[in-house]
Structure 1
């Protein structure tokens, strides 16, 4: 409900700003043509900076990869492009502000905090479910056994029963490849 009110208030404010700037400039057509130009500027920015964005974001959310500088550098520009696409002078001013490097750095920091908090809550939720199933090996969590093993290994390392991580346990056997001889056939026969 609050979001709907915010969107409605923003739309009304955008219309009033549009009318005010149109009166100030002398014609509403100039404002309209600015909206057309801003739309194509935003579309171009989104196309330019969003190449390969979704796979990188999915990997970051899953914790498989750290914050890629190209991703964190391009995300504010993509948001600015989206704001240019939305018709309105207020959103265009916000887009221009986002393009300022200091504002981009602040936005990057805020986005990384949100991303890390989201990733941490996802891990806490997964860990909480696993910890709840510790007494019940038949529980519904498929990762409970794996988490239990990881915790046992961590406890062994912390308690002084250190294992050398450079040792690989396994068997070795000698493999002798059979040498096959290539027969030359006479093609002139």
Structure 2
């Protein structure tokens, strides 16, 4: 309901700004041509910066890939392109503001924090069910996480891709010679 109210208020504000700018420049045709030009600019920005976006986003969500600088650099530009597609002067001003490098950096940092929090919450939810029986909380099928088997399979696949066997623990062993003297226990009798 809040989103609908925000969109309605935004639409009303856009209409008032259109009318005001149309009166200021003398004709609504200038505003219309600006909307058409902004639409094509936004479309070209989206086409240019979104090539290969979805596979990278899916890999990042699955945790198989870290944040790619090219991907995080392109997301604010894609958002600006979407804002230019929407007919309105307020959204066009927001799109131009997003194209400013310090604003892009702040937006990238915010998006990465949100994505990392979502990924962490998803992992905690999936891993929480795997430990359900160990905590004494779950008994049988009620305490089990339905994603536990899928999570184990994903971990096995990641281990196979990296060339590691999950049943082998790597480490080094060395023999330690006791150099310290042993402490002798004397009979201590209570008095």
- CA distance in 2 between partners of 1:65 and 1:40 (Å): 33
Q: What corresponds to 1:132 in structure 2? A: 132
Q: Paired residue for 1:60?
A: 60
SS where residue 41 of structure 1 aligns?
Answer: helix
Deviation readout 1:135-188 (Å, 9 max, x if unpaired): 6576453268789xxxxxxxxxxxxxx8428xxxxxxxxxxxxxxxxxxxxxxx
The number of residues matched between the two structures is 152
Deviation of 1:62 (Å): 1.0
- 2:15 corresponds in structure 1 to 15
Task: Name which of 164, 173, 176 aligns with 2:171.
Answer: 164
Contact 1:76 1:98 in 2 (8 A): yes
TM-score (norm 2): 0.74
The aligned residue for residue 112 of structure 2 is 112
**Contact 1:42–1:81 (CA<8 Å) still a contact in 2?**
yes
* 1:146–1:81 CA distance, 2 compared to 1 (3 A): closer
Distance 1:107 1:3, change over 3 A: same
1:30-69 to structure 2, matched below 5 A, reads: 30-69=30-69
Unpaired runs of 5+ residues, structure 2, are 155-168, 173-191
C-alpha contact (below 8 Å) 1:80/1:96 kept by paired residues = yes
Tell me the TM-score normalized by structure 1. 0.75
CA 1:102–1:127: 2 relative to 1, 3 Å = same
Unaligned runs of 5+ in 1: 148-161, 166-189
Q: 1:146 to 1:79 in 2, by over 3 A?
A: closer
Closer, same or farther: CA 122–26 of 1 in aligned 2, 3 Å: same
Aligned to 2:166: none
State the distance in 1 between where 2:6 and 2:18 align: 18
- Report the equivalent of 1:142: 149
Between the aligned partners of 2:111 and 2:77, the Cα distance in structure 1 is 13
* Aligned-partner Cα distance in 1 for 2:82–2:57: 17
